[in-house]
Amino acid sequence: MVRLDQHMPLIWAIALTAFIFSILLSPVCSRILALFGVLDQPDQRRKLHSVATPRGGGIAVVAASAAALLVWLPETAPQTALIRQIAPGALAMFLVGLADDLTHLAPWGKLAGQTVAAGLACAAGIRIGHVGGVAIENTALSVVLTILWLLICTNAFNLVDGLDGLAAGVGMFSTATALAAALIFGLEPLGVAAAPLLGALAGFLVYNFNPATIFLGDSGSLVLGFCLGCFAIFWSGKTATLLQLLEPLMALSLPLADTVLSILRRLARRQPIFMADRGHVHHRLLDRGLSPRNAVLAVYAFCGLAAVLALVQSVVTDARYALLNAMAFACALWTGFRFLRYTELSWPGREGRKPRLTVLADLRIGRKRKTVA
């Protein structure tokens, strides 16, 4: 099954080129953003950095990725089909993120722009082709699900971008997993698309890890989530069984799970779903006593485990072992969120105990909303 063929040196050359460009462009981008006052101010509540820091590092990541592809364009031209499908939507998403970094767009305006970007990808051929073995390609359902999936992935990485190096590092693990899957299955278009993003993120992390001198910003986090959502659709389209469809979900599990819990939490509290709060994974790790640096490293450790299990899922041929692997992953995810004391995963206490306000209980159909006793 493993096909580390003649394209592997080219893929690593693209990644290394993007890394070098990112190393060179990130500090330049940081100085220009600071000069124009595009700074993220600390508030000691959700933004825990100590000094005002330039935001908009997505400019460096996108530029480094594009430059690496241009350098190797003659050699990669036959394998750029996926890039050509992603590029229009990625550019639109980058512009939406950049506008938000510069002017702070209203939530619904930003969502409208994201929807247009997702629609461009869908029109270019990025489509969910089947769900649970049922073919839905070239149907309205495929379009709706594709746009919804890309919006979820895009905003998942936007929400997880809360500590130095967090979103870029999580994205790097997910991109590396997609690249490994491309090498395993011989998916050259996916490998060529993932390699420059991986290299650019690695170079950017040199400046973005704690203590960061530049932040990814929406121009980076939105594009990152969007591209990984597209990679997942391409990757899952090459799998054969329902259990193997879990592979991309495992690779993106932490930001996706954090997003789902955020939505449930805000719905239960009757708050706007775009309202910021301190209930994300990184906030819970800080509340458990970890330093910002150690909280990020803990997230990296889980993402590394998720990457390994996703790749194991991709190579296992026996359905029984694939099921066991999926169950092991589910247990790891559940244990991690329980450790972080997510009451969203709890039902109210048994009769006779003090009831707890929980999201799952509040959202049960037909059940009157409870209040904290």
Segment 321-346, tens digit of pLDDT: 888 988 999 998 888 888 887 665 55
- Does residue 128 fall inside a structural domain? yes
* Type of residue at 27: P
**Is 154 a domain residue?**
yes
pLDDT tens for 344-362 read 555 444 433 443 444 444 4
Nearest to 119 by CA among 145, 100, 80: 145
Per-residue confidence (pLDDT) for residue 160, from 0 to 100? 87
In a domain, 78, yes or no: yes
Question: Within a domain: residue 355?
Answer: no
Closest CA to 172 of 3, 39, 22: 22
Q: Is there a contact between 224 and 157 (Cβ–Cβ < 8 Å)?
A: yes
What residue numbers bound the domain in which 205 lies? 8-240
Distance CA 93, CA 54 (A): 20
Q: Is 37 inside a domain boundary?
A: yes
Higher pLDDT, 288 or 373: 288
Q: How many independent structural domains does the chain possess?
A: 1
**pLDDT above 70 coverage of the chain, percent:** 84
Instruction: Please tell me what DSSP assigns to residue 136.
Output: -
Cα separation, 109 vs 149, whole angstroms: 19
Q: What is the pLDDT of residue 151?
A: 95
For residue 152, give Cα distances in angstroms to 147, 168, 208, 354: 9, 17, 24, 35
As a whole number of angstroms, the distance between CA 28 and CA 252 comes to 31
Q: How far apart are CA 318 and CA 119, in angstroms?
A: 37
How confident is the model at residue 350, as a pLDDT?
Answer: 42
C-beta of residue 355 within 8 angstroms of C-beta of residue 349: yes
Q: What is the pTM assigned to this prediction?
A: 0.86
State residue 368's pLDDT score. Answer: 44
Q: Is residue 311 part of a domain?
A: no
Own/partner long-range contacts of 44-52 (Cβ < 8 Å, ≥24 apart): 45/278, 46/162, 46/276, 46/278, 46/283, 48/163, 48/286, 48/292, 49/164, 49/211, 49/212, 50/211
In this structure, of 79-93, 257-271, 287-301, 306-320, the range with the lowest mean pLDDT score is 257-271
Helix (H, G, I), strand (E, B) or coil at 241: coil
Across residues 67-71, what is the average pLDDT?
94
Judge whether 334 lies within some domain: no
pLDDT at 358: 45
Is the model's pLDDT at 4 over the cut of 60?
no
More confident position, 340 or 82:
82
In a domain, 266, yes or no: no
The mean pLDDT of 92-109, rounded to a whole number, is 93
How much is the pLDDT for 138? 80
Structure tokens at 144: 């709706």
DSSP 32-97: HHHHTT-EEPP-SSS---SS-EEB-THHHHHHHHHHHHHHTHHHHGGG-HHHHHHHHHHHHHHHHH
How many other CB atoms sit within 10 Å of the CB of residue 257? 18
